[in-house]
């Protein structure tokens, strides 16, 4: 009788342990959440003063501003395309894109700063550009629907991604099959780059390529169009 009671007790305890283990496995996360690689880097933009940043982003001597028309031409945009300007800032690329894709196309101005987006739309209206939609995103998503864009354009913004792999996943999902991703950002090279770039920019070109390829993109070209910035083109691969 004593042996029977011990067997029953052990059986019940083992069953409870098995059930508890199964519950834990069900509730465990499927993947670890990405760690913020640069906390606070975007704090200046959340309540950004638009005119102040116009004088910073749209000043002569800034390579990506001086060569903006050359850069847009290199993208070979066609009427009817849908483009996302990610980290749109003051919107000077957004407006150029809107003209290129025409009334049958669309441009999403994506930025974490609501003030930037409001002013991009205001200035677009003055220019008679009606094919621009503003998106206030967050550090982990560009807040666009799957398969909704042909080109994702990121200019001097990739180094501001606090969660690069999570953001790249969001971009990958939003691109249509065969869609393109273009990243322009500061070259981080000792002897070439300024002290500000060396301390401010997280990753060099080689590291960025590895991160983007890891997210399901294939590098298609590395243009030498720019001097202080690199110009990378990728195509969406996989599902």
Burial class (CB in 10 A: 0-12, 13-18, 19+), 227: exposed
Q: Is residue 94 part of a domain?
A: yes
Alpha-carbon distance of 145 to 142, in angstroms, equals 9
Q: Is residue 28 part of a domain?
A: no
Tens of pLDDT, residues 119-166: 999 999 999 999 999 999 999 999 999 999 999 999 999 999 999 999
Q: Is residue 213 part of a domain?
A: yes
Contacts of 102 (CB under 8 A, 6+ apart): 79, 80, 131
Assign residue 209 the CATH number of its domain.
3.40.50.150
Read off the DSSP letter of residue 110.
Answer: E
pLDDT at 61 over 50: yes
Q: Is residue 229 part of a domain?
A: yes
Q: Is residue 205 part of a domain?
A: yes
The confidence band for 192, taking pLDDT boundaries of 50, 70 and 90, is confident
Q: How confident is the model at residue 227, as a pLDDT?
A: 95
Q: Is residue 118 part of a domain?
A: yes
| Arithmetic mean of pLDDT, 10-17 | 44
Residue owning tokens 């913004």: 157
* Three-state secondary structure call for residue 219: strand
Beta-bridge partner residues of 221: 233
Helical packing angle, 92-101 and 68-75, nearest 10°: 40
Cβ-contact 159, 197 below 8 angstroms: no
If you average pLDDT over every residue of the chain, what do you get? 89
Name the residue range of residue 99's domain.
60-236
pLDDT at 22 over 60: no
The model carries a pTM of 0.86
How many percent of the chain have pLDDT more than 90? 79
Q: How confident is the model at residue 79, as a pLDDT?
A: 98
Closest CA to 176 of 76, 75, 84, 78: 84
Residue owning tokens 């807040």: 143
Cβ-contact 187, 229 below 8 angstroms: yes
Q: How confident is the model at residue 239, as a pLDDT?
A: 57
Alpha-carbon distance of 189 to 112, in angstroms, equals 28
The confidence band for 48, taking pLDDT boundaries of 50, 70 and 90, is confident
Comparing 207 with 44, the larger pLDDT belongs to 207
- For the chain, the domain total comes to 1
């Amino acid at each position: 009788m004593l042996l029977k009671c011990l067997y029953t007790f052990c059986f019940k305890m083992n069953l409870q342990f098995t059930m508890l283990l199964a519950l834990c496995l069900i509730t465990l996360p499927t993947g670890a959440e990405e760690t913020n690689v640069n906390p606070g880097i975007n704090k200046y933009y959340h309540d950004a003063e638009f005119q102040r940043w116009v004088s910073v982003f749209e000043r002569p001597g800034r390579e990506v501003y001086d060569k903006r028309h050359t850069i847009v031409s290199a993208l070979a945009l066609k009427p009817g395309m849908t483009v996302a300007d990610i980290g749109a800032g003051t919107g000077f690329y957004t407006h150029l894109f809107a003209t290129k894709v025409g009334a049958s196309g669309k441009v999403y101005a994506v930025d974490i700063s609501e003030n930037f987006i409001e002013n991009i739309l205001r200035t677009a209206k003055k220019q008679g550009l009606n094919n621009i939609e503003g998106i206030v995103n967050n550090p982990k998503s560009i807040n666009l629907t799957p398969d909704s864009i042909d080109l994702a354009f990121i200019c001097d913004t990739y180094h501001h991604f606090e969660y690069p792999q999570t953001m790249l996943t969001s971009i990958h999902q939003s691109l249509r099959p065969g869609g393109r991703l273009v990243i322009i950002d500061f070259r981080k090279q000792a002897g070439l780059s300024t002290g500000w770039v060396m301390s401010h920019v997280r990753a060099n070109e080689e590291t960025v390529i590895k991160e983007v390829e890891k997210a399901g993109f294939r590098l298609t070209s590395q243009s030498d169009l720019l001097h202080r910035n690199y110009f990378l083109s990728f195509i969406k691969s996989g599902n």
